[in-house]
Amino acid sequence: MTAAAKSYDGIVIGAGHHGLVLATYMARAGLKILLVERRLMYGGGLATVEATLPGFYHNSHSINHFHITHTPWFQDLKLAEKVAYVTPFYEFGQPHPDGTALVFSREIESTLKSVRHLSKKDAETFREWNRRAEEITAQILIPERFAEPLPQVEREALLEKTAIGRDFLAIARRQPLDVVRELFENDHVKLLFLFKVSLFGTWLTDTLSKTSPMGSVIRAFDLDTGYQLCQGGSFNLARGLMETFIAAGGTFAPQVAIERILIEGGRARGIVLADGRTVRARQFVASTIDVHQTFENLVGRAQLPAAFAAKLDRFQYTGWTLFGLHLALREAPKFAAAEFDPNINRTLKWSIGAETMEDLFAAFEDVKANRVPRIVQFGSGPLSVIDPTQAPPGKHTTYCWHVMPLAPDLGGQDEEDFKREFADKIIATFARYCPNLTRDNIIGQYIYTAKEYTQELINMRGGDIFMGAFNAEQVMYNHFGYRTPIPNLYMAGSSGHPGGANSGGAGYIAAGIIARDLGAKLWWRPLDAAAALGAIAQAA
């Protein structure tokens, strides 16, 4: 690491999207910033690889980016000049073995038309809740997602002042799964709705949380906001961010082995590398990696106040991982259910395989018991149909993400054999819904499980793709925090509100906090939760 010879105003650890967002804001504020990364490659979970055949671009980690072009950082950093996104009209789809399909689009009438085929009552429920959800999402959820959370009492007092605030609190105080069960009568509607809820990182484990302070159920009723696909592959977002960071005068150092965070006089002063060199940070050090690596390995428990060490010990990770299967195809998947609704073929996210709520619970119970799920059920999508640049002309890619324990009990079976057999099972299930998902159509396959991704991204502890569970004890006002007990040391990654996934939220919020603490130039206007919630009350 040649950059080590110098000293900087700030050092950011981890060049995933959170690190890139934070480092770029701070560099634009006029600070001399070093962004250090353990790996050769930057981007973290923004990874696109030609893993099967030349010209087939597979996104080995994150694919679906929620409302990303509308985030404050995407706009502040003018990323639209460097990175293109596709916003698909059909967002969530579920084919059924009886030849029907359910498709949620970005527009209410076409969504209701689809729901009405299964249940008129559920369509009416959807309409009623959608109206409220659009308003709540725009006025509460989005501003809160990109602002430092208010303390619970202050937040709830502000929300109690308005009808939408009270509606939101009422639903957020309930268990998401209970709410879904109560609102809908049709199992297929419940299943696709839960699949939509789960994409906010709650899968069944967290929909069983007693409450949902972030309001995941509300967001599943909202259709205006939604998922987008990064053109050419997810890595392009990392590229756009890195170009912006470098243009702002930042320095990137890959393949850096950090031995510890340098603490002198009780303050964070830099990093000490495994080769013995020290890189000094005059003003701050920020970590965007997991809390345990940061505080146990790089800081050391001896430096931590007892209450903070106890908080570290209480920190929870999600108890499931993803088994990924990436396919290169001659032709795109064509569902039998396309005769019923042709839009199913071009819907961004498919939920395939779970036919009943019992099926869904079976996977949950299996993962909890460290078993390979018996009923194959997975998420998928026609990436190259939505973005043809992800495959050679006329050819296609797709993927399957299946929930899986980190190290399932294989009963002595060889791991590589298991992976191949399980991939075959996924393909067999896929083919039940898409008759053209034949071995002849599949020209390449790449299996990428938690075993591989935890080896590359060591911060995804225990296979946790979000680096922290999204349960009521850890979100919003209960999140891990941006400031730490060590002055000048900040957390700016997935452990901070709004948590894991490619929201960029924690990097963006931490930038505002650090800039204010240091008295650095605030060249942007950080979002403020009190102002946003106060404005709703005033307007009411």
Ligand X SMILES: Cc1cc2nc3c(=O)[nH]c(=O)nc-3n(C[C@H](O)[C@H](O)[C@H](O)COP(=O)(O)OP(=O)(O)OC[C@H]3O[C@@H](n4cnc5c(N)ncnc54)[C@H](O)[C@@H]3O)c2cc1C
Note the residues at the interface with ligand X (CB under 6 A).
Answer: 13-19, 36-39, 44-45, 61-65, 258, 288-289, 293, 322, 324, 453, 457-460, 465-466, 493-494, 500-502
DSSP states of 260-308: EEEEETTEEEEEEETTS-EEEEEEEEEE-S-HHIIIIIII-GGGS-HHH
Judged by CB, which is closer to ligand X: 65, or 479?
65
CB 365 → ligand X: shortest distance, Å? 22
The rounded distance, in Å, linking the Cα atoms of 111 and 232 is 28
DSSP annotation of 342 reads G
Q: Which two tokens stand for residue 322?
A: 């993803």
Contact present, 251 and 35 (Cβ < 8 Å): yes
Q: Which of 509, 508, 413, 21 is nearest to 237 (CA)?
A: 21
Q: Which is nearer to ligand X, 406 or 460 (CB)?
A: 460
CB of 110 to ligand X, least distance (A): 24
Judged by CB, which is closer to ligand X: 426, or 457?
Answer: 457
Structure tokens at 478: 């209960």
Q: Which is nearer to ligand X, 169 or 272 (CB)?
A: 272
Q: How far is the CB of 453 from ligand X (least distance, A)?
A: 5
The nearest distance, CB 424 to ligand X, in angstroms, is 20
Nearer to ligand X, 336 or 404 (CB): 404
- Asked if residue 127 lies in contact with residue 491, where contact means CB atoms within 8 angstroms, the answer is no
The dihedrals phi and psi of 67, each to the nearest 5 degrees, come to 50, 35
Please, which contacts does 178-182 make with residues 24 or more away whose CB atoms are closer than 8 Å?
Answer: 179/217, 180/207, 180/217
Q: Which is nearer to ligand X, 293 or 441 (CB)?
A: 293
Q: How far is the CB of 129 from ligand X (least distance, A)?
A: 24
**Which one, 96 or 419, has the nearer CB to ligand X?**
419
**253 and 36 in contact (C-beta within 8 Å)?**
yes
Q: Are 212 and 472 in contact (CB under 8 A)?
A: yes
The CB-of-499 to ligand X minimum distance in angstroms stands at: 8
**Cα separation, 73 vs 472, whole angstroms:** 26
Give the nearest distance from C-beta 297 to ligand X in angstroms.
Answer: 7
* Cβ-closest position to ligand X: 16
Shortest distance, position 294 Cβ to ligand X, whole Å: 8
Indicate the residue among 289 and 337 with the shorter CB distance to ligand X. 289
Nearer to ligand X, 94 or 503 (CB): 503
> Rounded to whole angstroms, how far apart are CA atoms 327 and 211?
38
- CA 74 to chain centroid, in Å, comes to 16
Closest distance of CB 537 from ligand X, Å: 31
Question: Environment class of residue 436 by beta-carbon count within 10 Å: exposed (0-12), middle (13-18) or buried (19+)?
Answer: middle
Q: β-pairing, 489-491 with 278-287? A: parallel
Question: What region, left, alpha or beta, does residue 366 occupy, with left being phi > 0 and alpha being psi -120 to 50 degrees?
Answer: alpha
Nearer to ligand X, 162 or 459 (CB): 459
Shortest gap between Cβ of 356 and ligand X (angstroms)? 25
Burial of 260 (C-beta count, 10 Å sphere; 0-12/13-18/19+): middle
